[in-house]
Every structure is written in structure tokens, then in C-alpha cells.
């Protein structure tokens, strides 16, 4: 490990004087300072060299040579840090990746919304139930999900729990992805508990047979590459809580530059992307690949501003624009941004998040999304890029490996009346495993066409 873990960042508190949206109001600042000091002394979760490697993979995405698959929970939860949950999520991503790689014949860069996705920006500061109003839940890193006064008080010691939850999650993810579980020859095994019950599972089984045949053919020809035995898998989350992200920023002893070692890639959300705000300032100081969520009101000047602030060297792979405009807006709003960004000479990766612009409340009160809207936003995103001759670089989705009922539609259709059956998300509704696989097949078709 060449990252200098002893030397916390003290030279870049430049974000501190700036307006920082969506930060918790801790009642006890001394307790916060103690936690930050503790985190500054902790080992990094990722190695700077891995972040560089992901930046080079994202450069391939930006140049049209690879496709990004980024997915995981809206909000990870401390009590879901279990082998079962982590394996199910990873398995879903591996299956989606097999579908995309094989059916679209494109290298897939695999990035989880995992091992750090514990902090949530909220559109409302408070939540009211049965006449009682309390502060909103802001993710397990900030306060408790339970609707009672004590749980909703921001508690800085949760930042330490986030670090340890991220660390044990990442440890298991690394074990699964390099220790044999992700071996492409396991392509059938990932589907075992699934195939009989679902149309997506059956379709996948067919594709897995074809992959098997291809592997058998290659082996017979005398080639059995190491690449098939392990996968490169990266972690990512929204860099929302700057006290945490800053405390995990380290000087890389190889290069003397700063890396946020809480994840390989971090992104700035739609609600915190102010050009003169603390989040963009923080992101401008670190060398990790950076994502920015772009909602339907993003202006050309803002998009160009992010390039100037975050990618002054115009380095492919540094900056990813994650577009989340909504199925009804993406065809109108995206073309001008893509045109002007392309004309600026920057080579950014364009990725679609077809989830966050398509959320609505069902009559039952459940926050949900229609599978068809999700798909339509992806289609719109692809249409815009095909029209302009630019590269639709990937998808960013909220999903889980569990058979939840949070989004409606899909091949194994979930109806509005089913939502209550397994509605388990701590925040936004996620695609379940079958819906995720459906989406992967449909995206592969779009990419190929």
C-alpha cells in the first residue's frame, strides 16, 4: 500500500467556508470533531492506483470503447450488511454484465453503488405522519430510519459505523470478485435459484448456455484467459457528507496528489452540484473519477462550468455526466447539453440514470417507478446520442438482488396493488433482480442496434 494513511488531508479544507447543501446539523460539534479525527487515522478503503485504473476504464467509456454498468441500492443500510444481501446484489450485477457483454459485444465497466452509499439528500427537511412532524431520514450515516424523535437526531458516531460497514462490504465484494465466485464459468450458478420462476431467468439461462459453448470452444482451441476467472469491480457512492469524505482523503505518496479513499468513484448529486458550492470545490481537489448528476434544469453554462472546474485538462475518464431528466424530458433537454459539451473539446462519459426523473407516488402512498418509464428514458438517451453521433456510455440504476416489489411493471409483472408485499427500501424504489435482468437484455438490444 503506497497511500500514506498516516497523513490526513489538512491542506484542502477549501470547501469549508463555502455553502454546503444537505449537511446534517449535529447538535454536538465536539463529538463531530472527535469522529473526524478518528476517521483521519483510519486506513484508506481503496488504493489510489485503483482509482487511476477506473479513470482509465472510464476513459474507454467516454471514447466509445466500453459501457458502464453502475448499480446498487438507493440507500444502503447498516442492518443489510450481510453476506446474503451483498451476494445477491453482486450476482445481479454480474448477470447484467454477462448479458451486456455477450449480447451487446462490448466491454462492461462494473461499478457498484455499494460500500459507502449511506447518505441521502432529501427534498424535504421534515416528514409528517399522523400529524407528527420529525426531521427527515438522511441515510444511516446521519440518523435512524425509525419514525421517532430520538432516532432522527443526527449522530456523528454513525460516520464511524459507515466506515466500518463500507469496509466489511468492500472486503466481501473483493473476495467474491477475485476469489472464484465471479469466474465466468459460474455463469449458470449465478442463476440457479432463479431460473424456473421467471421469464428473465429463463432468457438468461439460454444466454448462459451460449457463453458456456463459447468458453468450451476457446478452451478447445487452447486458450483459457485469466480475465475469465475474476472481474474488476469498483465501488462508488454520492459524496454528500463532506466531513466524512474529507476525513478519508489522503495524499498519494506515489504522486503527491489527493484521493478520496472512501470509494473508487464518487459523484455529486442533483441537489448539491452548485458551481460555487462546497461539493464541487471538494471534488475539484481530488483525483478520483467524478460523476455529476444532471437533472432537467441543467444549463449549458453549468455543464461547461463543471468541465472547467473538474476537468481543466480535458482528460477522458475524469468526468462522467449522469443524466437523470425523466422519460418525458430527456429527448428535449439533453441534445443541447451534449452538443455544447462536445463542441467544448471535453471527452466526458455520458451515462443515463433512468430512475430519479421517473418517481411518483402510488395511491397506496408508496414511492414507485414504472419499468416502462425507466426503459423509455434509456431509449430517449440512446436516441439523442445516436442522433448526434455521440456515445451512450452506460446506465446508472437503483437495484437490489432481492425479490422486492418496489417498481411496477417488468416481464414478471408487478402491479400497483403488489407494492406493499415486499417494499423494503430505506429511500427510493429499486428494480428487483428480474426487472434488472429485463433491463439488461433491453439495453443490450438498444446498444447493438
**338 neighbors 390 (Cβ within 8 angstroms):** yes
Beta strands in 34-156 (DSSP E): 67-72, 108-113, 126-129, 132-135
The residue among 252 and 270 lying less far from Mn ion, judged by its C-beta, is 270
Half-sphere exposure of 337 (CA within 13 A, CB side): 28
Q: How far is the CB of 324 from ligand PEP (least distance, A)?
A: 5
Site string for ligand PEP, 240-279 (x = CB under 6 A): -----------------------------xxx--------
The residue among 85 and 430 lying less far from ligand PEP, judged by its C-beta, is 430
Site string for Mn ion, 409-428 (x = CB under 5 A): -------------------x
Work out which of 8, 121, 289, 393 binds ligand PEP, going by CB under 6 A.
Answer: 121
For residues 405 and 432, what is the distance between their CA atoms, to the nearest angstrom?
7
**96 neighbors 440 (Cβ within 8 angstroms):** yes
For residues 248 and 413, what is the distance between their CA atoms, to the nearest angstrom?
43
For residues 117 and 86, what is the distance between their CA atoms, to the nearest angstrom?
13
293 contacts which partner out of Mn ion, ligand PEP, none, CB within 5 to 8 A by kind? ligand PEP
Work out which of 89, 91, 324, 385 binds ligand PEP, going by CB under 6 A.
Answer: 324
Map the footprint of ligand PEP across residues 3-62, applying CB under 6 A: none
Please tell me the total number of residues recorded for the chain in this structure: 449
C-alpha Rg value of the chain to the nearest Å: 21
Helix (H) or strand (E) holding 282: helix 278-284
Q: How far is the CB of 223 from Mn ion (least distance, A)?
A: 42
Helix (H) or strand (E) holding 294: strand 290-294
The residue number with the shortest CB distance to ligand PEP is: 269
Handedness of CA 390, 391, 396, 397 (dihedral sign): positive
Beta-bridged to residue 235, according to DSSP, are 112
Map the footprint of ligand PEP across residues 69-88, applying CB under 6 A: 74
Q: How far is the CB of 74 from ligand PEP (least distance, A)?
A: 5
Helix (H) or strand (E) holding 446: helix 433-448
Taking the alpha carbons at both ends of the chain, their separation in whole angstroms is: 44
Residue 333 is a binding residue for ligand PEP (CB under 6 A)? no
Q: Which residues contact 344 (CB under 8 A, 6 or more apart)?
A: 304, 307
174 contacts which partner out of ligand PEP, Mn ion, none, CB within 5 to 8 A by kind? none
Closest CA to 429 of 349, 350, 373: 373
Site string for ligand PEP, 355-384 (x = CB under 6 A): -x----------------------------
Confirm whether residue 209 is marked as ligand binding: no
Q: How far is the CB of 300 from Mn ion (least distance, A)?
A: 26
For residues 69 and 56, what is the distance between their CA atoms, to the nearest angstrom?
15
Confirm whether residue 16 is marked as ligand binding: no
The residue among 269 and 317 lying less far from ligand PEP, judged by its C-beta, is 269
430 contacts which partner out of ligand PEP, Mn ion, none, CB within 5 to 8 A by kind? none
Site string for ligand PEP, 194-233 (x = CB under 6 A): ----------------------------------------
Map the footprint of Mn ion across residues 47-86, applying CB under 5 A: 74
For residues 355 and 56, what is the distance between their CA atoms, to the nearest angstrom?
27
281 contacts which partner out of Mn ion, ligand PEP, none, CB within 5 to 8 A by kind? none
The residue among 212 and 424 lying less far from Mn ion, judged by its C-beta, is 424
Confirm whether residue 74 is marked as ligand binding: yes
**82 neighbors 187 (Cβ within 8 angstroms):** no
Beta-bridged to residue 320, according to DSSP, are 291, 349
Q: What stretches of 291-370 show up as alpha helix (H) in DSSP?
A: 300-310, 330-343
Map the footprint of ligand PEP across residues 276-315, applying CB under 6 A: 293
The residue among 74 and 103 lying less far from Mn ion, judged by its C-beta, is 74
For residues 143 and 257, what is the distance between their CA atoms, to the nearest angstrom?
33
Confirm whether residue 324 is marked as ligand binding: yes
Confirm whether residue 51 is marked as ligand binding: no
The residue among 74 and 263 lying less far from ligand PEP, judged by its C-beta, is 74
Residues belonging to the binding site for phosphoenolpyruvate are 113, 270-271, 293, 324
Binding site as annotated, residues for Mn(2+): 74, 356, 398, 428
Give contact residues for Mn ion (rule: CB under 5 A).
74, 428
Q: Give residues in contact with ligand PEP (CB under 6 A).
A: 74, 121, 238, 269-271, 293, 324, 356, 428
Amino acid at each position: 500500500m503506497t497511500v500514506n494513511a498516516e497523513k490526513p488531508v489538512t491542506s484542502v479544507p477549501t470547501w469549508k467556508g463555502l455553502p454546503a447543501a444537505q449537511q446534517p446539523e449535529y447538535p454536538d460539534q465536539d463529538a463531530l470533531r472527535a469522529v473526524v479525527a478518528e476517521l483521519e487515522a483510519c486506513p484508506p478503503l481503496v488504493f489510489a492506483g485503483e482509482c487511476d485504473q477506473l479513470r482509465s476504464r472510464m476513459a474507454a467509456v467516454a471514447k466509445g470503447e466500453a459501457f458502464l454498468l453502475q448499480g446498487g441500492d438507493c440507500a444502503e443500510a447498516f442492518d443489510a450488511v450481510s453476506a446474503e444481501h451483498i451476494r445477491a446484489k453482486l450476482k445481479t450485477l454480474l448477470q447484467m454484465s454477462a448479458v451486456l457483454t455477450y449480447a451487446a459485444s462490448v466491454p462492461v465497466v462494473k461499478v457498484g453503488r455499494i460500500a459507502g452509499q449511506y447518505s441521502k439528500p432529501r427534498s424535504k427537511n421534515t416528514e409528517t405522519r399522523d400529524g407528527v412532524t420529525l426531521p427527515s431520514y438522511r441515510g444511516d450515516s446521519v440518523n435512524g430510519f425509525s419514525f421517532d424523535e430520538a432516532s432522527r437526531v443526527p449522530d456523528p458516531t454513525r460516520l464511524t459505523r459507515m466506515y466500518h460497514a463500507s469496509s466489511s462490504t468492500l472486503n466481501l465484494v473483493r473476495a467474491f470478485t477475485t476469489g472464484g465466485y465471479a469466474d465466468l464459468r459460474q455463469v449458470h450458478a449465478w442463476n440457479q435459484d432463479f431460473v424456473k420462476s421467471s421469464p428473465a431467468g429463463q432468457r438468461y439461462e439460454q444466454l448462459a448456455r451460449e457463453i458456456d459453448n463459447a468458453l468450451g470452444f476457446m478452451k478447445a482451441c487452447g486458450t483459457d484467459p485469466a480475465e475469465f476467472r475474476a472481474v474488476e469491480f469498483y465501488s462508488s457512492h454520492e459524496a454528500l457528507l463532506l466531513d466524512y469524505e474529507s476525513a478519508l482523503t489522503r495524499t498519494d505518496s506515489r504522486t503527491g496528489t489527493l484521493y478520496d479513499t472512501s470509494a473508487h468513484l464518487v459523484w455529486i448529486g442533483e441537489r448539491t452540484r452548485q458551481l460555487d458550492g462546497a461539493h464541487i470545490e471538494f471534488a475539484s481537489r481530488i483525483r478520483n473519477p467524478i460523476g455529476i448528476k444532471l437533472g432537467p434544469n441543467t444549463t449549458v453554462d453549468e455543464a461547461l462550468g463543471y468541465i472547467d472546474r473538474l476537468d481543466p485538462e480535458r482528460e477522458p475518464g475524469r468526468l462522467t455526466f449522469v443524466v437523470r431528466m425523466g422519460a418525458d424530458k430527456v429527448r428535449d433537454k439533453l441534445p443541447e447539453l451534449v452538443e455544447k459539451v462536445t463542441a467544448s473539446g471535453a471527452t466526458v462519459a455520458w451515462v443515463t440514470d433512468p430512475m430519479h426523473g421517473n418517481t411518483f407516488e402510488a395511491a397506496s402512498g408508496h414511492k414507485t417507478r414504472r419499468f416502462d418509464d425507466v426503459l423509455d428514458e434509456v431509449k430517449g438517451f440512446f436516441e439523442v446520442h445516436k442522433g448526434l453521433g455521440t456515445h451512450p456510455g452506460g446506465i446508472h440504476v437503483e437495484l437490489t438482488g432481492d425479490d422486492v416489489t418496489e417498481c411496477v411493471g417488468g416481464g414478471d409483472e408487478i402491479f400497483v396493488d403488489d407494492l406493499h408485499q415486499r417494499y423494503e427500501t430505506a429511500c427510493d424504489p429499486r428494480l428487483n433482480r428480474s426487472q434488472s435482468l429485463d433491463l439488461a437484455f433491453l439495453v443490450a438490444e438498444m446498444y447493438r442496434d
